[in-house]
Amino acid sequence: MIFGHISQPNPCRFPAAIEKALAFLRSTDFRALEPGVVDIEGRDIYAQILDLTTQPRHMLKPEVHRRYIDIQFMAWGEEEIGIAIDTGNNAVSESLLETRDIIYYQDSENESFFEMVPGSYAIFFPQDVHRPGCNKTRETPIRKIVVKVALSALN
């Protein structure tokens, strides 16, 4: 996982596909867009604009992806996200790899939580179990953008 704030310059260069996704996040006025999918570079890089309400941790399932990297960006609101390394010891709750590139786990071993505030982003790789959308202090409406970057686009 990589954590940062969109206003800060990158201390090092990321692969071009990740740089393109971050440039999209820096240059887009998310107040002007409706929820939905935005094409950045076909199925290699695209964004999901989501209006959600955070929930208690126990109501949400940890997840992983195998074909895409998630770049989760907080446009407004606040949330906590759980993070852990996928050790292979987590019981699968539901696998939707073929249709949606997602595995939900029942729980996550050795999970820690961090806070997302407006402008912050987190980049999750296939080994990163993450549990987004958790309450920081209470249920809160948020707008987050999830940019999906295909692993095949990193070459």
Report the CATH number at residue 19.
Answer: 2.60.120.370
Nearest one of 56, 58, 64 to 134, comparing CA atoms: 56
Percent residues over pLDDT 70 in the chain: 100
Range of the domain at 9: 2-154
Q: What is the pLDDT of residue 98?
A: 92
For 57-99, write each residue's pLDDT tens digit: 999 999 999 999 999 999 999 999 999 999 999 999 999 999 9
- 3-state DSSP call for residue 39? strand
Q: Note the pLDDT of residue 146.
A: 98
Instruction: Residue 14: count other Cβ atoms within 10 Å of its Cβ.
Output: 16
Q: Is the pTM of this model over 0.75?
A: yes
Specify the number of domains making up the chain: 1
d(CA 15, CA 21): 10
In contact, 130 and 81? CB cutoff 8 Å: yes
Which pLDDT does position 123 carry in this prediction?
Answer: 98
Cα first-last separation, the chain: 19
Question: Structure tokens of 51?
Answer: 């209006």
pLDDT of residue 125: 98
pLDDT at 155: 73
Best CA proximity match to 26, nearest among 79, 75, 68: 75
Instruction: State the Cα–Cα distance between residues 22 and 119, nearest whole angstrom.
Output: 11
> C-alpha distances in angstroms, 108 versus 57, 82, 116?
11, 9, 19
Positions in the chain whose pLDDT score sits under 50: none
